[in-house]
Amino acid sequence: MFAASGINGALGRAMLLVGIIGSLFGAIAAISSARQRDQAVAKLIPRFAILVFAAGFGAFAVMERAMITRDFSLAYVQKVGSVSTPAVFNFAAVWSALEGSILMWVLILAGYTLAVTFWLRKKMDDVLSRYALGVMFIVSMFFFVLSFGPANPFAAGPAGVFDGPGPNPLLQNHLLVMFHPPMLYLGYVGMTVPFAFAIAALITGRVGEGWLLATRRWTLFAWGFLTIGIVLGSWWSYEVLGWSGVWAWDPVENASLLPWITATAYIHSVLVQERRGMLRVWNLSLLVSTFSLTILGTFLTRSGVLNSVHAFSQSAIGPWLLTFFAVIVIVSVGLIGWRGDRLHSPGSIDSPLSREGAFLANNVLFAIFAFVVLLGTVFPLIVEALQSRTIVVGEPFFNRLTIPIGITMLTIMAIAPVLPWRKASQELLSKRLFWPAWCGVIALAGSVWVGATGLAPLLTFALGGFASGSALRQVVLATRRQGLRGLVGRANGGMIVHLGVIIIAVALAASNSFTHSQELNLEVGKVATFSGHTFELVDVTEEKTDRATAVKALVKVDGGKAYAPAITKFTKQGMNVGTPSVKTGLANDIYLTLEPPVRQDENKARIKVFIKPLLLWLWIGGGLMALGTLLAAFPGRRRKPTSPTSDDDFAADLLVTL
């Protein structure tokens, strides 16, 4: 037993040490070869990238091995491992607490470093590539050190422990824990790549458009995963937490949303730079903000500064992350200041009523949106620091401020896609917006017809119709011209993403504004009615395993299939976890939860019913966003490549020739 445990602990630590050394040498090789233009040293970079990835992968594999073989000599396995956890949740238990999450970060970052190295293998002569890889190695080294030191997952635990509590019960009753965190991390960590290129561009002074075009797809890739991760997180919240909501403005959720907002702003404003060469400082700042917000978010949520429902992972890594955040900000701001003269944007924007004008307005909104989310997240800290008083900033605050922002965004989404670059005439606008506007009116009439009330939801439905009209117009015109090829490419894929966003906005407005709920005291044999649906209790069952005791109420909805909301008492943690059961439909979800106290022997159950309109469309919209991102990543054909810098292949060549 002891010998075996020694192996996992020692092997894991050794892997991390190799990772630190590999990243250090990789960074030295990359940066010194970039400074001295030394081709021989540059040839070593790929080897270090492979070494770093092997170390990261090895460390993660060792942790999985320790978890699967239930090696209770490790403190981490004692904390989140248990003999009775089912295999799938045991596999996911590795990332169910802080140390393991950092280890996953290490693995994914090492993977990105290797992928970027491979992608740059033929462009290694370029100094910019070397600097970018240097930055990747430095960030990798930081996370390896973090995992080796303050967030060590391989620390030995007290002897004589043969079983543990297992992961937090909330993390072991839905399969989504397998997918939500890895997706989110692929997005989060992926933002390192554009950041590395931004820093490299600043160092080399080649702040033109070449580097930016080259990294655009990496940003889109990371953004797509971040989107999927956030949507899966909402789905998990809906399926597991039992309050029928998808988003609670919890600090951890906000931390994942913040880089998403700035990255979304970047994806839009980068088009202005590609087309017009403007907004250089702004785009660099957005990339730097996105990356530093991932670090700040991790600091806020994982250091215990802010408490949240995700508080099961806290430790002393706070000062490390805060220092790293400060270094990133200082270095980036310093570099931007140093290169100020080259960053001066040529050209000007002729009219606010143009494609670039709309992108600017969009960016202002996204910046305000990010500011509101950040302010709401850290405000309790400020009040506590200044007046040592506890306040809570929750959903009502965020809703009040973000709903107007969202509605304004929908307005821009309705108009911007039809705007030409440079300048739009009134006749052109009136012609192009005519049918989309009617789509809006029809959507509004339809929602009034089905009984929707309230200004904010109605505006959302109307503008949603308008904006989807504009998006569809673009897609229809493109497919009419180019057939199926009209579905790929940035502009067209982007419109599919817009459609997904609109569907999500409509679904959020409908499900937030028109949810009805009622508690029903059900008895076997009696039928209760709520909101036009019937509910009949069939049976109350109890299932006991050595891990948990689950009480399930079988409820027939509308005389059809029986749904089984449950309350599971996890024996080891002494924690009750409610598991909702949902009858999904295109128009309504019927969401059932079993309410405590549970009296299993009396053939009675207290059930809470939520009727949630259009909720299913959230996931459909999320899927459409993912699909659109994929389509946008394929190179589309431009009708007239008026500006040579907007061509993809040219960008790649540029990177080599420069």
Q: Which of 261, 474, 213, 211 is nearest to 363 (CA)?
A: 261
- Out of 66, 110, 267, 349, the residue judged to bind other proteins by CB under 8 A: 349
- Give residue for tokens 């405590």: 596
CB of 433 to other proteins, least distance (A): 9
240 binds other proteins (CB under 8 A): no
CB of 330 to other proteins, least distance (A): 23
Q: In whole angstroms, what is the distance from residue 14 CA to residue 547 CA?
A: 34
Give the CA angle between residues 540, 542, 545 to the nearest 5°.
160
Q: Give 56 or 245: the residue with its C-beta nearer to other proteins.
A: 245
- Out of 3, 40, 87, 392, the residue judged to bind other proteins by CB under 8 A: 392
Q: Give 338 or 434: the residue with its C-beta nearer to other proteins.
A: 434
Q: In whole angstroms, what is the distance from residue 423 CA to residue 561 CA?
A: 58
Q: In whole angstroms, what is the distance from residue 574 CA to residue 166 CA?
A: 12
438 binds other proteins (CB under 8 A): yes
484 binds other proteins (CB under 8 A): no
- Out of 243, 312, 320, 634, the residue judged to bind other proteins by CB under 8 A: 243
Q: Give 197 or 225: the residue with its C-beta nearer to other proteins.
A: 197
391 binds other proteins (CB under 8 A): yes
SS3 category, 22 = helix
Print the binding letters for residues 553-592 with other proteins: x by CB under 8 A, - otherwise. -----------------------x-x--------------
Q: In whole angstroms, what is the distance from residue 46 CA to residue 30 CA?
A: 10
How crowded is residue 34: how many other Cβ atoms within 10 Å of its Cβ? 24
Among the listed ranges 98-106, 134-142, 330-338, 648-656, the one in contact with other proteins (CB under 8 A) is 648-656
Task: Estimate to the nearest angstrom the gap between the alpha carbon of 152 and the chain centroid.
Answer: 25
Q: Find residue 537's DSSP bridge partners.
A: 524, 555
Compute CA distances 444 → 114, 469, 504, 512, whole Å: 50, 13, 17, 18
Cis peptide bond N-terminal to 597, omega within 30? yes
381 binds other proteins (CB under 8 A): no
Among the listed ranges 42-50, 70-78, 96-104, 384-392, the one in contact with other proteins (CB under 8 A) is 384-392
Print the binding letters for residues 23-62 with other proteins: x by CB under 8 A, - otherwise. ----------------------------------------
- Out of 77, 360, 414, 537, the residue judged to bind other proteins by CB under 8 A: 360
Helix (H) or strand (E) holding 437: helix 434-449
CB of 73 to other proteins, least distance (A): 33
10 binds other proteins (CB under 8 A): no
Q: Are 565 and 607 in contact (CB under 8 A)?
A: yes
Q: Give 350 or 602: the residue with its C-beta nearer to other proteins.
A: 350
CB of 52 to other proteins, least distance (A): 34
Q: In whole angstroms, what is the distance from residue 110 CA to residue 50 CA?
A: 9
CB of 277 to other proteins, least distance (A): 6
Subset of residues 275 to 314 that bind other proteins, contact rule: CB under 8 A: 277, 307-309, 311
- Out of 84, 517, 571, 603, the residue judged to bind other proteins by CB under 8 A: 517
601 binds other proteins (CB under 8 A): no
- Residue 33 burial (10 A CB sphere; 0-12, 13-18, 19+): buried
- Out of 22, 100, 297, 440, the residue judged to bind other proteins by CB under 8 A: 440
464 binds other proteins (CB under 8 A): no
427 binds other proteins (CB under 8 A): yes
How crowded is residue 44: how many other Cβ atoms within 10 Å of its Cβ? 16
Among the listed ranges 70-78, 258-266, 413-421, 458-466, the one in contact with other proteins (CB under 8 A) is 458-466
Give the number of residues in contact with other proteins, rule: CB under 8 A.
Answer: 80
CB of 463 to other proteins, least distance (A): 10
CB of 591 to other proteins, least distance (A): 13
346 binds other proteins (CB under 8 A): yes
Subset of residues 206 to 225 that bind other proteins, contact rule: CB under 8 A: 208
Give the CA angle between residues 225, 234, 252 to the nearest 5°.
80
CB of 43 to other proteins, least distance (A): 28
Buried b (16+ CB within 10 A) or exposed e, 175-196: ebbebbbbbbbbbbbbbbbbbb
Q: In whole angstroms, what is the distance from residue 250 CA to residue 101 CA?
A: 19
376 binds other proteins (CB under 8 A): yes
- Out of 387, 388, 483, 586, the residue judged to bind other proteins by CB under 8 A: 387
418 binds other proteins (CB under 8 A): no
Q: Give 319 or 596: the residue with its C-beta nearer to other proteins.
A: 596
Q: Pairing relation of β-strands 548-557 and 566-570?
A: antiparallel
Q: Which residues contact 471 (CB under 8 A, 6 or more apart)?
A: 413, 417, 495, 496, 498, 499, 502
Q: In whole angstroms, what is the distance from residue 215 CA to residue 195 CA?
A: 9
Print the binding letters for residues 617-646 with other proteins: x by CB under 8 A, - otherwise. ---------------------------xx-
421 binds other proteins (CB under 8 A): no
Compute CA distances 176 → 184, 259, 286, 370, 538, whole Å: 12, 22, 31, 27, 29
Q: Are 259 and 194 in contact (CB under 8 A)?
A: no
**Structure tokens, 641:** 């490549």
Among the listed ranges 141-149, 189-197, 471-479, 517-525, the one in contact with other proteins (CB under 8 A) is 517-525
Q: Give 346 or 560: the residue with its C-beta nearer to other proteins.
A: 346
CB of 435 to other proteins, least distance (A): 8
Q: Which of 228, 232, 294 is nearest to 262 (CA)?
A: 294
Q: Which of 478, 472, 492 is nearest to 629 (CA)?
A: 492
CB of 40 to other proteins, least distance (A): 29
Q: In whole angstroms, what is the distance from residue 199 CA to residue 340 CA?
A: 14
Q: Give 115 or 458: the residue with its C-beta nearer to other proteins.
A: 458
Among the listed ranges 16-24, 313-321, 450-458, 544-552, the one in contact with other proteins (CB under 8 A) is 450-458
Q: Give 155 or 382: the residue with its C-beta nearer to other proteins.
A: 382
Q: Are 339 and 202 in contact (CB under 8 A)?
A: yes
6 binds other proteins (CB under 8 A): no
Looking at residue 156, what DSSP letter applies?
A: B
Q: In whole angstroms, what is the distance from residue 311 CA to residue 147 CA?
A: 19
Q: In whole angstroms, what is the distance from residue 327 CA to residue 228 CA?
A: 30
Among the listed ranges 104-112, 153-161, 372-380, 487-495, the one in contact with other proteins (CB under 8 A) is 372-380
259 binds other proteins (CB under 8 A): no
648 binds other proteins (CB under 8 A): no
Q: Are 271 and 279 in contact (CB under 8 A)?
A: no
Subset of residues 140 to 169 that bind other proteins, contact rule: CB under 8 A: none
Q: Are 91 and 115 in contact (CB under 8 A)?
A: no
Q: Are 469 and 435 in contact (CB under 8 A)?
A: yes
CB of 511 to other proteins, least distance (A): 13
524 binds other proteins (CB under 8 A): no
